[in-house]
Amino acid sequence: MHVLVTGGTGFIGQALCPLLVQAGHTLTLLSRSPERAKRDFPQARVIEQLVQCEGADAVINLAGEPLAEGRWSAHRKQDFRDSRIGTTEDLLAWIEARAPGQRPQAMVSGSAIGYYGARNDRALDEQAPPGDDFAAILCRDWEAAAQRAEDLGLRVSRVRIGVVLERQGGALARMLPPFRMGVGGPMGDGFQWMSWVHRQDLARLVVWLLERNEASGAYNGTAPTPVRNREFATTLGKVLKRPALLTTPAIALKLLFGEMSSLLLSGQRVVPKRALAEGFEFQYPQLEPALRAILEDHH
């Protein structure tokens, strides 16, 4: 298939694009940093504007400013909305402008488990209702925009992405320095759930959704075994052979990050019920083997 990818040079896209190429797909990347995209993925066609795309069989929409970096100002909150919902609406306009026979057949669109809001211990499958905080409303509106592609004849899968684990980015990259120095540990009381996923498994899930004609609707992009933050810290310490005893008090996180601290202090216990029921196999369903695969050769 010819696949148009937004967010291809991002943290998830860096794992996804090589998998798509391996699977024999042709890539067009929509990127705001075309030089970097060309350097990272010489086998892809890189465009800066959708009008340059000559058509595609499918779209993977992963664009979006990372939420978990720094404080949320009103300006940044608007950036979060524009980079997700704005990009998705641009895609819809581009699809709508094409003759029905020239339109893509499928879209896999990113979302996040923030959709569910803070839900304490309740196990959340794809049927759980959305929350009502900023991240939940953002995800709900983002998904609603993507779903409108169904009216244009596309099969749409929405992936609610959890805490993606890999060395070179995301949450784990920020945790590693303190843990390596022996000053890592739980955040707040450590009882909040972390619904994590190995980046390679998430990339494989996106390709699986793209290639399965019967896949549509919401899918949780998380490993089958979420853990509490305390257990995550203990396991990461064990893999790094470091203590993981120093708690970061909730008050310190709130002072440092303001509203964004809610992402760190209130978790969701999310399960990938649909992917498992429909036959997707995780290479890393358990946390410790996932962390070992990521970290063992690279202390």
Mean of all residue pLDDT scores within the chain: 94
CB 284 within 8 A of CB 290: yes
Write out the DSSP string of 232-277.
HHHHHHHHHTS-----B-HHHHHHHHGGGHHHHHS--EE--HHHHH
Q: Which residues pair with 227 in a beta bridge?
A: 194
Q: Which of 2, 8, 6, 47 is nearest to 26 (CA)?
A: 2
Give the contacts of 129 (CB within 8 A, at least 6 positions apart): 116
- For 111, the 3-state DSSP assignment is strand
Confidence check: pLDDT of 299 > 70: no
What digits encode the pLDDT tens for the residues 82-113? 989 999 999 999 999 999 899 999 999 999 99
Helix ranges, the chain (H): 13-22, 34-40, 74-81, 87-96, 134-147, 170-180, 199-211, 229-240, 250-257, 261-265, 273-277, 287-295
Predicted structure pTM score? 0.95
Residues 114 and 163: their CA atoms lie apart, in Å, by 10
> 2-295 adopts what CATH topology?
Rossmann fold (3.40.50)
Q: What single letter denotes the amino acid at residue 57? A: D
CA distance 135 to 178: 27
pLDDT tens for 218-268 read 999 999 999 999 999 999 999 999 999 899 889 988 988 888 888 888 889
Count of all residues that appear for the chain in the document: 299
Instruction: Tell me the mean pLDDT in the region 209-218.
Output: 97
